[in-house]
Amino acid sequence: GAGVSQSPSNKVTEKGKDVELRCDPISGHTALYWYRQSLGQGLEFLIYFQGNSAPDKSGLPSDRFSAERTGGSVSTLTIQRTQQEDSAVYLCASSPWRISSGSRNEQFFGPGTRLTVL
Amino acid sequence: ILNVEQSPQSLHVQEGDSTNFTCSFPSSNFYALHWYRWETAKSPEALFVMTLNGDEKKKGRISATLNTKEGYSYLYIKGSQPEDSATYLCAPSNFGNEKLTFGTGTRLTIIP
């Protein structure tokens, strides 16, 4: 079956421009997560969705970052006025979240979007 | 924020040899520990989700153990093969918190 897909796979943008990154989770997965990996760093949590709601946005690094999810499916991560420090690989993951097991559910990752801000 | 440490940071192992590496995490309020393998140019792939103290899980030549009281997990690879070359990430979570906190990983290179 189809896995998690992300688009674009690569994005090069100029400092100050806005970018949108898209994630298509596995069908039926209610939980969706955004992470990023900057050069030399570990995977950093950004935001988590349960359905269309985002109970945990604690990882968003600044108010230039926002995310939404519609129809309990596709999610978009938007970065406004990009800065060079935003350059990273942005990963999306989805999970068949069950209230009985929460974060014990395996997360399925997409291939990521490599963002380069010049 | 959980303090997650993985060691060593990188490792070169001869093909056929066995190896292991460590993930350390805070033991308080532990809920789950995930292990992922991340090969270059691919998506991170789940290996194990571990929850019980003393648990041991196995998948082919790869196995993992968990000590929740002292806050560590070991990942073992038996008879390393070139396809085992990847970065291995661990990620604990706390009860009531959906967030996984990833370590920086152990980068494993198998030398043919």
CB contact under 8 A, A48 and B44: no
User: Which pLDDT does position A75 carry in this prediction?
Assistant: 97
Q: Give the residue-averaged pLDDT of A103-118.
A: 91
Average pLDDT of span A80-101: 89
How high is the pLDDT of residue B98? 73
What confidence category does residue A96 fall into, taking pLDDT thresholds of 50, 70 and 90? confident
For A103, the closest of B31, B46, B89 (CB atoms) is B31
Average pLDDT score, chain B: 93
pLDDT at position A49 = 92
C-alpha B93/C-alpha B102 separation (Å) is 9
Q: What confidence tens digit (pLDDT) does each residue in A8-62 have?
A: 999 999 999 999 999 999 999 999 999 999 988 889 999 999 999 988 898 999 9
Closest residue in B to A107 (Cα–Cα): B46
- Residue B58 — pLDDT band, cuts 50, 70, 90? very high
Contact A25, A73 (CB under 8 A): yes
From A9, which residue of chain B is nearest by alpha-carbon distance? Answer: B41
Q: How far is B16 from chain A (nearest CA, A)?
A: 29
Q: How sure is the predictor about B1, in pLDDT bands with cuts at 50, 70 and 90?
A: low
User: What mean pLDDT is predicted for residues B38-53?
Assistant: 92
Report residue B85 CA to chain centroid gap.
14
Residue B30 C-alpha from the chain's centroid: 16
Please give the Cα distance from A73 to A114 (Å, whole number): 22
Describe chain A by its helix, strand, coil percentages, rounded to 5.
5, 50, 45
**What's the rounded Cα separation, in Å, for the pair A32 and B64?**
26
Residue A90 confidence class, pLDDT cut points 50, 70, 90: very high
Exposed (0-12), middle (13-18) or buried (19+): which is B32, by Cβ within 10 Å?
Answer: buried
Q: How many CB atoms lie within 10 A of CB A9?
A: 11
Of the candidates A36, A48, A47, A46, the residue with the CA atom closest to the CA atom of residue A97: A48
